């Protein structure tokens, strides 16, 4: 997951240095497309992997492989559909995502090109969950790492040497995603450990239903992120115009900061995904002690990582923003305040996504769905709409820590209740 965040981070760094602030803003406007791709990939990938683990733990190996086959084929199909929709409705989507006239000049070519890599992005993001569930976590990491390294090499070559600008960054991303996607296909063709026959690749409705039931929580978390990102861009465009920053500076700054925050979130989600086979298999085998111990260890690691990032965000905001290029005094002023205020509760931000994966893995789909919606939809979305009415563009910053704290508290309460239930059930046995 940490490697996967490099796609957007590397693009942002080289675009900021080679294209400028408006290039950074353009990638922020295009970002909802990537989030939607991730949402679909997690719906099918985590849903398929979670069911695979539960069925394997229960000894139903044939059915487990059939679920994996349906998940894999639907990943290929859904990625193609998203790419077509993005290309056909490119301009309306970019306006919806909050683009201004100046930003759209850069967002249009960038999003139009990266759409060609969408099928491979969805396949890689979702297929790697199935590869990990098939007991090949190292290969899964290699898939992401290879694409990210290729992207890192091609970005400066295409942007600076060939002079392709933002189009060069887009083509570098597409090529990196394509290589990673082909590696996923190669795994299931030649290197898989599961029994995956051709007829198992034909999607079955009954398998798709159980996949969606356990993948919907993680997927909705991404859908919620997309909704909030689109709303945030439009709020920044509206209230930024009435501030000393203008509309373009806040959108560009938030684009940079969201990519930096992706590194933190990638680690936390990666912790959750690494735990999911353990949670799912041991829950299916009724080994509740191991489920509980794994959750508590994941909780400790997520908080420790959060404390590290809290220190970095509070002490070094200017240095972080400078990595992505230069800007005006107002640009750095807004970025500095956004880091320190909006990201103030980052030290507990990993608890909610980690708990979402926990509930999905143990078959508690309803709780997983609820948990996935707490931060983004129940708390953050209403606050970023309400607070700017009272505090102007600063209201966006105040909304962040309040939503983060509330979501973490809810996650702790519900996870604690579930762990106590498992302990009572074990003692009753």
Nearest alpha carbon to residue 402 among 379, 381, 385, 382: 379
Is 44 within the bounds of a domain? Answer: yes
What the block records as the tokens of 83 is 């790419």
Domain count, the chain: 2
Per-residue pLDDT band at 1 (split at 50, 70, 90): low
Same domain, 53 and 130: yes
Same domain, 179 and 289: no
Q: Which DSSP letter does residue 348 get?
A: G
What the block records as the tokens of 174 is 């597409």
**DSSP string across 107-167:** HHHHHHHHGGGHHHHHHHHHHHHHHHHTT-HHHHHHHHHHHHHHHHHHHHIIIIIS--HHH
CA 223 – CA 284 distance, rounded (Å): 28
What pLDDT is recorded for position 93? Answer: 94
Q: Reply yes or no on whether the pLDDT at 205 is more than 90.
A: no
- Which phi and psi angles does 242 have, rounded to 5°? -95, 0
By the 8 A CB rule, do 203 and 70 touch? yes
Is 403 within the bounds of a domain? Answer: yes
What the block records as the tokens of 192 is 């898989």
pLDDT tens string 341-368: 999 999 999 999 889 889 878 888 788 8
Nearest alpha carbon to residue 47 among 218, 272, 204: 218
Same domain, 239 and 158: no
Is 210 within the bounds of a domain? Answer: no
Same domain, 177 and 307: no
Share of the chain above pLDDT 70, in %: 97
Question: Tokens 């890599």 appear where?
Answer: 117
- Which phi and psi angles does 124 have, rounded to 5°? -65, -50
By the 8 A CB rule, do 218 and 360 touch? yes
Nearest alpha carbon to residue 249 among 325, 166, 169, 342: 325
Q: Which of the listed residues 203, 225, 255 is the one where a domain comes to its end?
A: 203
Q: Which of the listed residues 173, 203, 233 is the one where a domain comes to its end?
A: 203
By the 8 A CB rule, do 29 and 107 touch? yes
Same domain, 146 and 229: no
Mean pLDDT score of the chain: 88
Write the burial class of residue 140 (CB in 10 Å: 0-12 exposed, 13-18 middle, 19+ buried).
Answer: buried
Which of 57-66, 121-130, 236-245, 330-339 shows the lowest mean pLDDT across its residues? 57-66
Per-residue pLDDT band at 7 (split at 50, 70, 90): low
Count other Cβ atoms within 10 Å, centred on residue 333.
16
The residue segments making up the domain with residue 407 are 217-428
Is 209 within the bounds of a domain? Answer: no
Half-sphere exposure of 109 (CA within 13 A, CB side): 12
pLDDT tens string 210-261: 888 878 877 887 888 889 889 999 999 999 988 999 988 999 888 888 888 8
Question: Tokens 């995956």 appear where?
Answer: 196
Same domain, 193 and 221: no
Share of the chain above pLDDT 90, in %: 47
pLDDT tens string 147-170: 888 988 999 999 999 999 999 999
Same domain, 307 and 347: yes
Question: For 311-329, what is the mean pLDDT?
Answer: 90
Is 332 within the bounds of a domain? Answer: yes
Question: How far lies 102's CA from each of 21, 95, 249, in Å?
Answer: 11, 12, 12
pLDDT tens string 170-186: 999 999 999 999 999 99
Per-residue pLDDT band at 46 (split at 50, 70, 90): confident
Which of 89-93, 156-160, 241-245, 280-284 shows the lowest mean pLDDT across its residues? 280-284
Is 407 within the bounds of a domain? Answer: yes
What the block records as the tokens of 281 is 């298999």
What pLDDT is recorded for position 428? Answer: 61
Same domain, 35 and 172: yes
Same domain, 175 and 225: no
pLDDT tens string 359-402: 878 888 788 878 878 888 999 999 999 999 999 999 999 999 99
**DSSP string across 47-80:** HHHHHHHHHHHTT-HHHHHHHHHHHHHHHHHHHH
Is 208 within the bounds of a domain? Answer: no
What the block records as the tokens of 245 is 């920053």
Same domain, 40 and 87: yes
Same domain, 112 and 252: no
By the 8 A CB rule, do 353 and 268 touch? yes
Q: Which of the listed residues 203, 237, 259 is the one where a domain comes to its end?
A: 203
Per-residue pLDDT band at 114 (split at 50, 70, 90): very high
Is 319 within the bounds of a domain? Answer: yes
Same domain, 265 and 145: no
């Amino acid at each position: 997951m940490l490697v996967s965040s490099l796609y957007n981070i590397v693009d942002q760094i080289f675009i900021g240095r080679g294209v400028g602030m408006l290039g950074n803003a353009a990638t922020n406007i295009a970002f909802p497309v990537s989030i939607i791709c991730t949402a679909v990939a997690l719906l099918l990938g985590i849903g398929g992997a979670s069911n695979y683990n539960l069925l394997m733990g229960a000894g139903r190996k044939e059915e487990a492989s059939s679920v994996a086959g349906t998940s894999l084929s639907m990943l290929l199909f859904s990625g193609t559909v998203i790419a077509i929709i993005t290309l056909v409705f490119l301009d309306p989507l970019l306006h919806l995502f909050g683009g201004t006239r100046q930003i759209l000049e850069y967002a249009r070519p960038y999003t139009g090109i990266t759409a060609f890599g969408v099928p491979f992005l969805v396949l890689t993001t979702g297929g790697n969950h199935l590869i990990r569930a098939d007991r090949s976590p190292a290969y899964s990491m290699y898939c992401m790492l290879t694409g990210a390294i290729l992207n890192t090499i091609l970005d400066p070559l295409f942007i600076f040497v060939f002079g392709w600008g933002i189009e060069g960054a887009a083509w570098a991303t597409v090529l990196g995603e394509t290589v990673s996607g082909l590696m996923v296909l190669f795994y299931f063709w030649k290197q898989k450990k599961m029994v995956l026959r051709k007829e198992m690749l034909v999607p079955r409705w009954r398998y798709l239903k159980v996949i969606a039931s356990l993948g919907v929580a993680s997927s909705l978390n991404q859908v919620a992120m997309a909704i909030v990102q689109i709303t945030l861009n439009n709020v920044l465009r509206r209230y930024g115009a009435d501030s000393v920053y203008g509309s373009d500076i806040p959108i560009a700054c938030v684009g940079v900061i969201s990519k930096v925050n992706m590194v933190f979130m990638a680690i936390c989600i990666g912790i959750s995904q690494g735990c999911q086979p353990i949670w799912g298999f041991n829950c299916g085998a009724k080994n509740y002690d191991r489920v509980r111990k794994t959750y508590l260890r994941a909780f400790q690691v997520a908080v420790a990582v959060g404390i590290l990032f809290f220190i970095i965000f509070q002490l070094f905001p200017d240095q972080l923003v400078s990595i992505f290029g230069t800007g005006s005094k107002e640009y750095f002023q807004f970025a500095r305040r956004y880091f320190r205020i909006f990201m103030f509760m980052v030290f507990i931000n990993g608890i909610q996504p980690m708990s979402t994966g926990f509930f999905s893995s143990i078959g508690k789909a309803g709780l997983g769905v609820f948990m996935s919606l707490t931060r983004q939809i129940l708390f953050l979305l209403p606050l970023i709409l309400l607070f700017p009415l009272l505090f102007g563009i600063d209201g966006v910053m105040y909304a962040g820590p309040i939503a983060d704290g509330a979501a973490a508290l809810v996650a702790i309460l519900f996870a604690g209740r579930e762990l106590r239930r498992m302990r009572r059930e074990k003692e009753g046995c």
